[in-house]
Amino acid sequence: MNPEAAAMQSDAAVKKAPRRSPGPVQATDLKELKKTEEIAAMAGREPYATVLERYEISRSFTLTLATDSAHCRKRFADAIQATDKKRSQTKTEASGKKTLVQLVRKVQGAASAKYARDAAHATTLKDYYIGVELAANAASLAQYSEAILEKLSEDTLPGISATIVTALRDARNQWWDAHKGQQAAQDEATRARAEAQALLATLTDRRIRVQYVIESEYPYNGDAEEIKAARAAFGLPATRPFRVTKG
What's the burial of 93, exposed, middle or buried (CB within 10 Å: 0-12/13-18/19+)?
A: buried
In this prediction the pTM is: 0.77
* Residue 73 covered by a domain: yes
Domain count, the chain: 1
* Residue 97 covered by a domain: yes
The CB density around residue 199, as the number of other CB atoms within 10 Å, is: 18
How does residue 122 score in pLDDT terms, banded at 50, 70 and 90?
confident
Domain that residue 185 falls in: 25-233
Distance CA 174, CA 113 (A): 28
- 122 vs 59, more confident: 59
Q: How far is CA 96 from CA 89, 170, 244, in A?
A: 10, 10, 52
Question: What average pLDDT is seen over the chain?
Answer: 89
* Residue 3 covered by a domain: no
* Residue 141 covered by a domain: yes
* Residue 41 covered by a domain: yes
* Residue 239 covered by a domain: no
Q: How far is CA 216 from CA 146, 210, 242, in A?
A: 70, 10, 9
Distance CA 234, CA 218 (A): 10
* Residue 115 covered by a domain: yes
User: Which tens digits make up the pLDDT trace of 58-112?
Assistant: 999 999 999 999 999 999 999 999 999 999 999 999 999 999 999 999 999 999 9
Confidence check: pLDDT of 3 > 80? no
* Residue 243 covered by a domain: no
Q: How far is CA 137 from CA 24, 97, 175, in A?
A: 25, 11, 13
How does residue 247 score in pLDDT terms, banded at 50, 70 and 90?
low
Nearest to 106 by CA among 15, 24, 168: 168
